[in-house]
Amino acid sequence: GAGVSQSPSNKVTEKGKDVELRCDPISGHTALYWYRQSLGQGLEFLIYFQGNSAPDKSGLPSDRFSAERTGGSVSTLTIQRTQQEDSAVYLCASSFLTAQETQYFGPGTRLLVL
Amino acid sequence: GNSVTQMEGPVTLSEEAFLTINCTYTATGYPSLFWYVQYPGEGLQLLLKATKADDKGSNKGFEATYRKETTSFHLEKGSVQVSDSAVYFCALRSSNTGKLIFGQGTTLQVKP
């Protein structure tokens, strides 16, 4: 079956612009995660969704970052007023039902802020 | 807080050599432990996992044993292939939210 998909695959933006990154989880997966992979910080957790609610937002680095999930499926990560330090690969993962299940990762969105 | 430390890379080996990538962790409670692999140009894939002490995870010839007494989860393979060239990440999951905490990654290059 189809895996986790993310769009766009690459995004170049100017400092100060807003960007939206999209994640389509595996069909039927209720848990969804966002991570960030950068040279300086490695792989970092950002936020966890169970259904449409986000019980763990502890990894969002600032209030410029927000995420939502609608219909228990697609999720959007929004970064407002982008900064150069936001440049990274943003990864989405999903798992079936509970947080204790294996997480399956998408290919990522590579964001470059000029 | 919880953390994972991996040996620094890159690790360069000849084909058929023995591989060990060290991973140690700090965590409260009883975390689950994972190795993920990222092949060039591809996304992260789960390689193996162990959910309790003394469990051994294995897949594709790779093995790792959950050692609570040494807080370690070292990755081993008896005979590496060129196709094993990738970045390997050790990770733990301890919270009810399923948050994965990753090590910094170890790049493995296998030469023919």
pLDDT tens, B68-96?
Answer: 999 999 999 999 999 999 999 999 997 77
End-to-end Cα distance, chain A: 37
pLDDT of residue A102 exceeding 60, the answer is yes
Please state, in angstroms and rounded to a whole number, the distance separating the CA atoms of residues A19 and A21. Answer: 7
- Residue in chain A closest to B98 (alpha carbons) equals A99
pLDDT of residue A54 exceeding 80, the answer is yes
* pLDDT, tens digit, 9 for 90 and up, residues B32-66: 999 999 998 888 999 999 999 999 999 999 999 99
Question: How far is B18 from chain A, CA to nearest CA, in Å?
Answer: 26
The reply to whether B59 touches chain A by the CB within 8 Å rule is no
Question: How far is A59 from chain B, CA to nearest CA, in Å?
Answer: 9
Mean pLDDT on A11-21 = 97
The reply to whether B31 touches chain A by the CB within 8 Å rule is no
* Chain A residues close to B29, C-beta within 8 Å: none
Q: State residue A1's pLDDT score.
A: 54
Mean pLDDT on A69-85 = 95
pLDDT of residue A99 exceeding 80, the answer is no
Mean pLDDT on A10-25 = 97
* pLDDT, tens digit, 9 for 90 and up, residues B92-109: 997 777 899 999 999 999
pLDDT of residue A17 exceeding 60, the answer is yes
Q: Which of B49, B99, B101 sits opposite A56 (nearest CB)?
A: B99
Q: How confident is the prediction for chain A on average, in pLDDT?
A: 93
pLDDT of residue B23 exceeding 80, the answer is yes
- In terms of residues, how long is chain B? 112
Q: State residue B41's pLDDT score.
A: 84
What is residue B83's three-state secondary structure?
helix
DSSP letter string, A63-93? TTEEEEE-TTS-EEEEE-S--GGG-EEEEEE
> Sign of the CA dihedral A58, A87, B90, A27?
positive
* Chain B residues close to A56, C-beta within 8 Å: 95, 97, 99
pLDDT of residue B13 exceeding 60, the answer is yes
Q: State residue B79's pLDDT score.
A: 96
The answer to whether A42 contacts B105, with C-beta atoms less than 8 Å apart, is: yes
Q: State residue A30's pLDDT score.
A: 92
Nearest to A49 by CA among A3, A8, A99, A6: A99
Q: How many CA atoms lie within 13 A of A3 on its CB side?
A: 13
